[in-house]
Amino acid sequence: MNSPKKTWFAFPYILWIIGFTLIPLGLVLYYAFTGADGGFTLANVLAITEPVHLKSLWTSLKMAFLTTLICFILAYPLGLVLCSLNLKKSNFIIFLFILPMWMNFLLRTMAWQLILSNNGVLNTLLGFLHLPKVHIIYTFQAVLIGMVYDFLPFMILPIYNVLSKIDTNVIEAARDLGANSVQTFTKILLPLSVPGIISGITMVFVPSLTTFVISDLLGGSKILLIGNVIEQEFKQGSNWHSGSGMSLVLMVFILISMALIAKYDKDGEGTAF
């Protein structure tokens, strides 16, 4: 039986959940299923099926998939390398990846805007090397670079965390039984690291799908993601009903990601921290 003291300690967290989770979610649900007259409607949710919104959703899905794939390709080998290093070296490299996360998200993205601009750091360096300049700012590739940079640590940390927990005796036993490097990877390392992979994929895919700041700064008005559409509905059009309806559709992806984590990471082995 819980003591009264423990109940009182939990009270601030209960208030936090009510004020910053349940009430906002309730407002989104209310506006999503009501019209301007306050009556029930599904038009706001079905607004996602409009051609312009479907195009933005498809672009967002493609961007999120490529971001997740590139982050995984970069993070998994790095996780293996970090596990092979001694603790001090691996912790230092992890620190280097976490360090940018201490900086404001907006400032980090604006830094890439300066790097990739037509007269930015990248083209200045190319000019110094007598190489042709590239026009990459306000393109799909620029947004992709910004997303990979911002979300890569969220893929590295859970993968490294789960790889570091694999008992080296299991790997040595597989090699003693005649398993080569490929077999050890496919039969031992990869299956045991699935919780970290699922956690990393979720932590990268979901924010990549819903973000709008990166596409605003690095894509300009040329790259319109579903997050930008929802932002415009709320801020420019003051259409909370349509914005809430499309936000509700994106919640489906969040629920799917939570279900995947619950299925493949029951023990919390793939958590980033």
Greater confidence (262 vs 130) lies with 130
Cα(247)–Cα(57) distance, integer angstroms: 11
Q: b/e for 242-270, b at 16 or more Cβ within 10 A? A: bbbbbbbbbeebeeebeeebeebbeeebb
Cα(218)–Cα(198) distance, integer angstroms: 28
pLDDT value at 77 more than 90: yes
Q: pLDDT (tens digit, 9 = 90+) per residue, 31-72?
A: 999 988 888 999 999 999 999 999 999 999 999 999 999 999
- The β-bridge partners of 40 are 34
Residue labelled with tokens 């190319």 = 126
Q: Which domain holds residue 250?
A: 51-264
Per DSSP, helices labelled H in the chain are: 4-17, 23-32, 43-46, 51-84, 87-98, 105-116, 121-128, 140-164, 168-176, 181-184, 190-192, 194-210, 213-219, 226-235, 240-264
Cα(180)–Cα(178) distance, integer angstroms: 6
Q: How many domains does the chain have?
A: 1
Find the CATH number of the domain harbouring 240.
1.10.3720.10
Domain membership of residue 94 (yes or no) is yes
Domain membership of residue 130 (yes or no) is yes
Domain membership of residue 22 (yes or no) is no
Domain membership of residue 142 (yes or no) is yes
Domain membership of residue 88 (yes or no) is yes
Domain membership of residue 153 (yes or no) is yes
Its pTM stands at 0.87
pLDDT score of 265: 64
- Our CA dihedral for 202, 72, 100, 223, rounded to 10 degrees, sits at -70
Domain membership of residue 34 (yes or no) is no
Q: pLDDT (tens digit, 9 = 90+) per residue, 163-210?
A: 988 888 888 888 888 888 888 888 888 998 998 999 899 999 999 999
Domain membership of residue 171 (yes or no) is yes
